Chains A and B, each alone.
Chain A
C-alpha cells in the first residue's frame, strides 16, 4: 500500500510543471466554489446581523381592524397590556404607542423662533416603556416616565425631524410648544428610533396626558422588544396574554424565522456562482483526465517495465488512479486555500466578519480528490489494458 503511494507520488512529482498546469482547473473550480459559498455565508451573516438588530427582535400587537363596525377595531387594547406582556419570558422591553386625533390643531414653537407659523405635525402618545422597546436614543434631554404619565404632566418629547421643523435643538432652556392652544414643555429630543420611523416626525406625549387632553381611549399598538430568538415565541404568546378570552381579535407582526432569512439570501446569492464553480470543476476534471491519458501514452514503456517486473494489471490501474487522485487533491487543497483567502480578503475590505463552514474548508480538498478519482478512472483502465509486449517494443 505504501509502495503504491510512493510510486504514485514519484510519478506525480516527476513532472512538476505539468502537475501545476494540471491542477489549475481544479484549483479554479474549488476556489470558485469555496469563495462563492464562503462569501455567500459571510454576506448572509452580515445581512442577518442587521436584521437581528433592527427587526428580528421586534413584535407588534395591534387590534384586528376587521370585524368591527365601520372600520372600527373589534377590540381595544387594554391599558395594562405592557404589564401583561412584561411577565412573558423573553420580553426585554414593552410599551404602547398611539396616534392622536388632534383635529385641526397645529403645533407651534412658543417662542415663535420657527417662523411663527403652526405646523401640521403628528402628535402621538406613548407609555414610559416605549422608549426602550423601540431602542430610542436621545439627542438631548430625557424621556418622560411613569410619573409624568400618572400626573398627566404637559410634557412632550420631540422626534428628530419634528424638532428640526420646530427649530428646537436644546432643552436646557425649557422650551415649550403649543399644540392647539395648550403649551407643553419639551423635555427631550430623539436622535433615533428603530422600527417606528413615524416617531421621528412626531411630537410624543405621555399616555396620561393624552387621555386627559385628547380623550385617548386605548393604545393603538403594543411595541415589544424581545430577546434574540424569542420573537416567534412572544408573537404566539402576546395575544393570549393581552386578550385571553379573544386572542384572535389581535394581529401580531413578527419577524420571519431567522433561519428562513439566512437560507433565502444564501440560495439567491449562491445559485449562479455555484453553477460557475461546477463548470470550472468539470473543466478541471476533464483537464486531469486529458493529462493523465496523455501521461499514460507517454509512459507506455514504464508500464511495460512494471508489468515485466511483476506488476499485475490492477497495480498499474491503481497507480494511475492514485496519481490522478493526488493531482485532484492537490488542486482541491490549493483551490480551498485560494477560496479562503478570497473570502477573508473580501471580508477584510468590506469590513465584514468572514464566516466559513468548517465542513466546506475540510471537504473541498476531498472534493478535488474525488474529481481526480473520477477523471482518472478511464486513463487508469486504459493503462492497465496495455499489453506488456506492446509496451516494451519501443526504443
Chain B
C-alpha cells in the first residue's frame, strides 16, 4: 500500500464508485468502492460468485459505466468520456485476459495477437513484428502460425496474454485466468504474471481461487459489492 501511495500517478483511481442495475428488483452490484492501483502493482481481487467482482472487472476495463463515483484511468476521468473515446482508451490502456481465452479460431496465433493493435492505430507494418516479440515473451515463438484450436489450454491462455501485452497497456486485467486450466498450466500462467510484475507491468487479477490470489503483491476481497482488506 505504501508503494502505491508513493507513486505520483496511480493507474487506477476509483473513488466511491457505485454500480446499480435498475430493477425490479434493483441490484446494487457495486456499492461505494474506493480503489487505487499504483503503477507496477500486482493486485488480486478475490470474492465468491455474486460478490460483484465481475461487475468490478467490467468497470475497471471500461466495459461498463459506473452509476456514480469517480474513476480515473491513468489520470483520465473516464466518467465524462463518450463511448467512442472510451473504446479507444480501452484499446490503448487495458489488456484483457479472459477465463475462456476468447481467441478467434479461424485466425493464426500470430494474427490473434496482432488483432489487438488493429483498433488502436498501430501501423500495419509494425504489428506482425510486435506480435512476434510478444509471443516470444510468453514462450510461444514456435506456435505462431498454428490455429488456436490445435493448442493446449495453457498455450491458448499464453496467446491471450501475449495479445493483451502487445498493445503495451497500462493495466493488465485478468478475469479468472486459470479457471479453465489444470494446476500445471495454471502455475505456468502465474509464473508469466510474476515475470510481468517483475518487469514493471501493472496487473489486476480477479479470481475466486486463493492459490491464485496469494501470488499477488496485494490482495483485496470483495463482498456484497464492497471491498474489504
* Interface residues of A, Cβ cutoff 8 Å to B: 2-3, 7, 10, 13-15, 301-302, 304-315, 388-389, 392-395
**Do B63 and A389 have beta carbons less than 8 Å apart?**
yes
Known: A306-B119, A389-B63. A311 touches B106 (CB 8 A): no
A2 near B124 (CB under 8 angstroms)? yes
Contact B106 A14 (CB under 8 A): yes
**Chain B residues whose CB sits within 8 angstroms of the CB of A392 once the complex forms:** 63, 98, 102
What residues on B are CB-neighbors of A3 within 8 Å?
Answer: 118, 124
Q: What bracket does the count of chain B residues touching chain A fall in?
A: 20 to 34
CB distance from B64 to the nearest CB of A (A): 6
SS class, residues of chain A in contact with chain B:
helix
CB of B88 within 8 A of CB of A389, answer no
Does chain A have a CB within 8 A of B84?
yes
Which among B83, B94, B102, B124 has the greatest number of chain A C-beta atoms within 10 A? B102
Verify A310–B119 contact, CB threshold 8 A.
yes
Q: Could you tell me the distance between the alpha carbons of A394 and B102 in the complex, rounded to whole angstroms?
A: 10
Q: Of B84, B105, B115, which one neighbours A309 at CB under 8 angstroms?
A: B115
Known A-B contacts: A307-B87, A310-B92, A388-B63. Give 13 more (CB < 8 A): A305-B102, A305-B104, A306-B115, A306-B119, A307-B90, A309-B115, A310-B91, A311-B87, A311-B118, A312-B87, A313-B84, A314-B84, A392-B102
Pair A308/B63 contact, Cβ less than 8 Å: yes
For A312, what are the chain B residues with a Cβ–Cβ distance below 8 Å? 83-84, 87-88, 119
Can you give 10 A-B contacts (C-beta < 8 A)?
A: A3-B118, A306-B119, A308-B61, A308-B63, A309-B96, A309-B115, A310-B91, A310-B167, A389-B58, A395-B100
Task: Determine the distance from Cα of A301 to Cα of B92 in the docked complex, in whole angstroms.
Answer: 20
Set of chain B residues within 8 Å of A310, measured between Cβ atoms: 87-88, 90-92, 116, 119-120, 167
Within 8 A of A (CB), among B46-84: 54, 58, 61, 63-64, 83-84
Is B107 part of the binding interface, using a Cβ–Cβ cutoff of 8 Å?
yes
Contact of B90 among A2, A10, A308, A393 (CB under 8 A): A308
**CB nearest to A4 among chain B residues:** B118
Give every chain B residue within 8 A of A304 (Cβ-Cβ).
102
A393–B100 Cα gap in the complex (Å)?
Answer: 9
Q: How far is the CB of B23 from chain A (nearest CB, A)?
A: 18
B91 in contact with A394 (CB, 8 Å): no
In the complex with contacts A389-B58, A389-B63, A309-B106 CB distance below 8 A: no
Q: Which residues of A contact B120 (CB under 8 A)?
A: 309-310
The interface bits of chain B over 149-170 (1 if a CB of A lies within 8 angstroms of the residue's CB, else 0) are: 0000000000000010001000
> A210 CB to closest chain B CB, in angstroms?
90
Chain A neighbourhood of B106, CB < 8 A: 10, 13-15
Which of A308, A389, A394 is the one whose CB lies under 8 Å from B100? A394
Of chain B, the residue at the smallest CB distance from A306 is: B119
Kindly supply a per-residue 1/0 record for chain B positions 101-115, scoring 1 wherever the CB is within 8 Å of any chain A CB and 0 otherwise.
Answer: 010111100010001
Which residues of chain A are near B64, meaning CB under 8 Å? 389
Residues of A within 8 A of B88 (CB): 310, 312
**Minimum-distance CB pairs A-B, first 6:** A310-B91, A14-B106, A310-B119, A312-B87, A305-B102, A309-B116
Cα A302 to Cα B106 in complex, Å, equals: 11
B83 partner residues in chain A, CB cutoff 8 A: 312-313
Set of chain B residues within 8 Å of A13, measured between Cβ atoms: 106
Q: Look across to chain A and name the residue whose beta carbon is closest to the beta carbon of B96.
A: A308
B124 close to A311 (CB less than 8 A): no
CB of B209 to closest CB in A, whole Å: 17
Taken together as a complex, chains A and B put the C-alpha atoms of A3 and B98 apart, in Å, by 24
Contacts of B111 in A (CB 8 A): 10
CA of A10 to CA of B83 in the docked complex: distance in angstroms?
26
Q: Which residues of A contact B54 (CB under 8 A)?
A: 393
Shortest CB–CB separation between residue A315 and chain B, in angstroms?
6
Nearest residue in B to A393 (C-beta to C-beta)?
A: B54
Query: Given A307-B87, A392-B102: A7 and B124 within 8 A (CB)?
Result: no
Tell whether, in the assembled complex, residue A307 and residue B63 are in contact, meaning their CB atoms are under 8 Å apart: yes
A104 to B118, CA, bound (A): 101
Q: How far is the CA of A2 from the CA of B167 in the complex (A)?
A: 19
B179 CB → nearest A CB, Å? 10
> How far, in whole Å, are A2 and B92 apart by their CA atoms in the complex?
20
Give the distance in Å from the alpha carbon of A15 to the alpha carbon of B107 in the complex: 12
Nearest-CB distance from A304 to chain B (Å)?
7
- How many angstroms between the C-alpha atoms of A132 and B105 in the bound complex? 78
> Chain A's nearest CB lies how many Å from the CB of B22?
15
Q: Is the CB of A301 within 8 A of B102?
A: yes
Question: Bound state CA distance, A310 and B64, in angstroms?
Answer: 13
Contacts of B118 in A (CB 8 A): 3, 7, 309, 311
Kindly provide the distance from the CB of A205 to the nearest chain B CB, expressed in whole angstroms.
88
CA distance A308 to B105 in the complex (A): 17
Q: Which residues of B contact A2 (CB under 8 A)?
A: 124
Minimum Cβ distance to chain A for residue B65 (Å): 11
The complex places the Cα of A2 from the Cα of B125 at a distance, in Å, of 12
In the assembled complex, the Cα of A184 lies from the Cα of B184 at a distance in Å of 120
From A2, A392, A395, residue with most partner B Cβ within 10 Å: A392
Cα distance A305–B61 in the bound complex, in angstroms: 12
Contact of A311 among B91, B94, B105, B167 (CB under 8 A): B91
Rounded to whole Å, the gap between the CB of B140 and the closest CB of chain A is 19
- What residues of chain A lie closer than 8 Å to B102, measured between beta carbons? 301-302, 304-305, 308, 392
Chain B's closest residue to A15 (CB) is B106
B126 → A minimal CB distance (Å):
13
Q: Please, which residues of chain A bring their CB within 8 A of the CB of B107?
A: 10
B residues near A311, Cβ cutoff 8 Å: 87, 91, 118-119
A309 contacts B63, C-beta separation under 8 Å: no
Cα-based distance from A62 to B100 in the complex (angstroms): 93
Which among A7, A13, A305, A308 has the greatest number of chain B C-beta atoms within 10 A? A308
